[in-house]
Amino acid sequence: MSNNSIINMLFQKVYFLKQIIILGEYTMDSQWTGYPSKDKPWQKYYSDEALHKDYEESSIYLHIFECMKNEGFENEVAISFYGTKLRYFELKKRVDELAEVLSARGIEKEDKVSLCLPILPETVYLFLALNKIGAIANFIDPRINALRIKEFLGTDTKLLFSIDIYNDKIGKVADELAIANCVEISAADSLPLHLKLAYRVKMHNKAHKDFESWNNFVTKSGRKSLTSVNTEPDDVAAIVYTSGTTGVPKGAMLTNRSLTAICFANKHVLPDMVKGDSLLDIMPPFLAYGLACGICAPLAEGMELQLIPKFEPEELGKLVRKNKPNNIVGVPYFFELIAKDKKMKDLSFIKYFIAGGDKMTVSSEQFINEFITKRNIKHPVIKGYGMTELSSGVIICINDECNKTGSVGQPLCRNNIMVWDSNQNRELKYGQEGEIFITGPSVMKGYSNNTKDEEILFKEIDGVRWVDTGDLGYVDEDGNVFISSRKKRMIVRPDGHNVFPVAIEEVVSEHPDVEAVHVIGVANQEGDNGKIPTACIVFKPSCKNSSKAIEEIKELSLEKLPPRDVALKYVVIDKVPMSSVGKVDYRKLEEIVDNRGGIDYRSGEMINT
């Protein structure tokens, strides 16, 4: 055998072994196909345990407290709330006692119990106690309008828990629906005595006449010992509602399997996040993100939840300085606010900023990472991607090694991703942009009373049920996922050309005078079909001449984008309207532009197709 033949043979063996390592497969049949869903290159980042170990998935309650027992964190702090601390063994005791109270009040498996609550200790107790019984926690944002609350409560709510500050609104809805069993919870119920008294004075006479107090419910309902409840992985654990900032809210039924899958997968990412760490818990429980990543996953890891039921975004820096959390989970907007806080000094106590729930631009990521470096935070910002129907985040930057700028990360350990071309009904290869499809154990069971939208969401391909995320993007050969744009946000111009807002936003945000930019489609005043791509810009206070800046932005856009892909209109706004959970409210942004008309700076070309 010649030297060249030996060298070629060695190269072939090295290449073959490399593919086996990349795929995390150990069979002699491994072949690199060029398709992400078949190769699963992200599996190289995971251990064999992450990919194959069995775990408790029949209930969230069992999963969390089995983890507690096996990993020995009974004496760690589970919840801190304005100075009051509760350890894990105490949390389990309260949950078990509350499950007996609920049982005594007639709550059984599959009953729907509605929780119109922010993140409070009682919210955590109730969710876990209901899960132990096998009942369904129906999470509702108490701040939304009465008609929407009425729709979400429905006629099948067996028991309603409501936060006291919204008693008038929720009480009227409960009366209309003839919900007989209503319990009010106050933030004061778990506050230290000095804060409790101050809160009671402030909330004087807020109690609803027909609502039972939490204290009365817990102490005077009696208890009923639970017989063995056979909860199953596919039982519905919670209903949470999509945000509705880009469409009509829908109730996603999250199962025990859905949520325990998030818990298990999160143990195998971010290696510096460990038992005993603290998490600033600012995401509300009525979001899948808040429920899965703010309650379930950190509790399964033995972390301390620093519960913050209400705050103004501008006060976030103050909360960080006061609580000194090791980790913070939130939307990108929150981390931008922290990075802009002039009072922030050394933050070496922080390990991770974990951002999800909304798009993070490259310029924003770079800005936050510069802040992280200057303030001695241990790791660069961790991006993630998910949706309510997937029980929150299913893609995350697993570790620093694979944290690529612009990427939202890699799929969690037992998930799969496919990039799909709907026009040609075929899967796309690495680097090719198409529709992002995801499948895995965290997929919801379905929508509550809405099979029509399920038909749009789910796509069955070769016997596998995939979720059509509605987003466009691509996957590189290392398994990094890049999201280009939301399909729903795609703007069809009057000439029929499709424009994707994110591409415009990325370019416009490069201008040094731009504080924020979001692109929407505005109806064409000339009455034609289609919409005008409109960039809504917030300029920095230091900007001296917005008209000049926009002319520069127009030139920059035409340098970096095709003529038909730039904004055709620019509107200067004072600030970006945000939803109550820190996401851009595109509907309100459209209202602002419609009402004001804005400053019209025409650019680009209208070419007939």
Q: Is 83 left (phi over 0), alpha (psi -120 to 50) or beta?
A: left
pLDDT over 90 (residue 201): no
Q: Which helix (H) or strand (E) holds 439?
A: strand 434-439
Verify that 180 and 267 share a domain, yes or no: no
- Model pLDDT, residue 8: 41
Strand, coil or helix: 126: helix
Distance from C-alpha of 307 to C-alpha of 50, rounded to nearest angstrom: 29
Verify that 89 and 51 share a domain, yes or no: no
Tokens of 501: 């807002």
CATH code for position 541: 3.30.300.30
- With a threshold of 0.85, does the pTM exceed it? no
What integer is the mean pLDDT of 452-457? 90
- Model pLDDT, residue 71: 96
Verify that 42 and 125 share a domain, yes or no: no
pLDDT over 70 (residue 467): yes
- Model pLDDT, residue 395: 97
What integer is the mean pLDDT of 350-362? 90
For the chain, how many structural domains are there in total?
A: 3
Q: Are 583 and 357 contacting, i.e. CB atoms less than 8 angstroms apart?
A: yes
Q: Are 317 and 290 contacting, i.e. CB atoms less than 8 angstroms apart?
A: no
Q: Residue 191: inside a domain, yes or no?
A: yes
Verify that 474 and 576 share a domain, yes or no: no
Q: Which residue among 164, 196, 231 closes a domain? A: 231
Q: Residue 199: inside a domain, yes or no?
A: yes
Nearest to 473, CA basis, from 567, 390, 407:
407
- pLDDT band for 209, please (50, 70, 90 cuts): low
Compute the Cα dihedral for 12, 15, 21, 25 and give only its sign.
negative
CATH code for position 174: 3.40.50.12780
Tokens of 252: 């996603």
Verify that 85 and 137 share a domain, yes or no: yes
Query: 132-145 pLDDT, tens per residue?
Result: 999 999 999 999 88
- Model pLDDT, residue 598: 42
Tokens 């398994």 identify what position? Answer: 479
The one-letter amino acid code at 572 reads V
Instruction: Tell me the DSSP string of 153-168.
Output: H-S-EEEEEEEGGGHH
pLDDT over 90 (residue 493): no
Q: Which residue among 165, 196, 231 closes a domain? A: 231
Q: Residue 608: inside a domain, yes or no?
A: no
pLDDT over 60 (residue 17): no
Mean pLDDT (the chain) is 88
Helices (H), 210-255: 214-220
Neighbouring residues of 233: CB distance < 8 A, sequence distance ≥ 6: 57, 58, 255, 256, 257, 260
Verify that 500 and 478 share a domain, yes or no: no
pLDDT over 80 (residue 57): yes
Tokens 């009373």 identify what position? Answer: 449
pLDDT over 80 (residue 207): no
Q: Residue 209: inside a domain, yes or no?
A: yes
Q: Which residue among 164, 198, 231 closes a domain? A: 231
232 vs 584, more confident:
232
CA 599 to chain centre: 34
Q: Residue 240: inside a domain, yes or no?
A: no
Verify that 269 and 396 share a domain, yes or no: yes
Verify that 480 and 500 share a domain, yes or no: no
Residues in the chain: 609
Q: Residue 408: inside a domain, yes or no?
A: yes
- pLDDT band for 527, please (50, 70, 90 cuts): low
Distance from C-alpha of 550 to C-alpha of 62, rounded to nearest angstrom: 57
Picking from 146-155, 356-365, 402-411, which range would have the lowest pLDDT averaged per residue? Answer: 356-365
Verify that 483 and 534 share a domain, yes or no: no
Neighbouring residues of 29: CB distance < 8 A, sequence distance ≥ 6: none
pLDDT over 90 (residue 50): yes
Verify that 406 and 472 share a domain, yes or no: yes
Query: 407-437 pLDDT, tens per residue?
Result: 999 999 999 999 999 889 999 999 999 999 9
Q: Are 40 and 20 contacting, i.e. CB atoms less than 8 angstroms apart?
A: no
Nearest to 568, CA basis, from 536, 539, 543, 541:
536
Q: Residue 282: inside a domain, yes or no?
A: yes
191 vs 293, more confident:
293
Neighbouring residues of 172: CB distance < 8 A, sequence distance ≥ 6: 146
pLDDT over 50 (residue 440): yes
pLDDT over 60 (residue 4): no
Q: Residue 246: inside a domain, yes or no?
A: no
Verify that 151 and 41 share a domain, yes or no: no
Q: Are 255 and 442 contacting, i.e. CB atoms less than 8 angstroms apart?
A: no
Verify that 404 and 545 share a domain, yes or no: no
| Full domain range(s) for residue 169 | 74-231
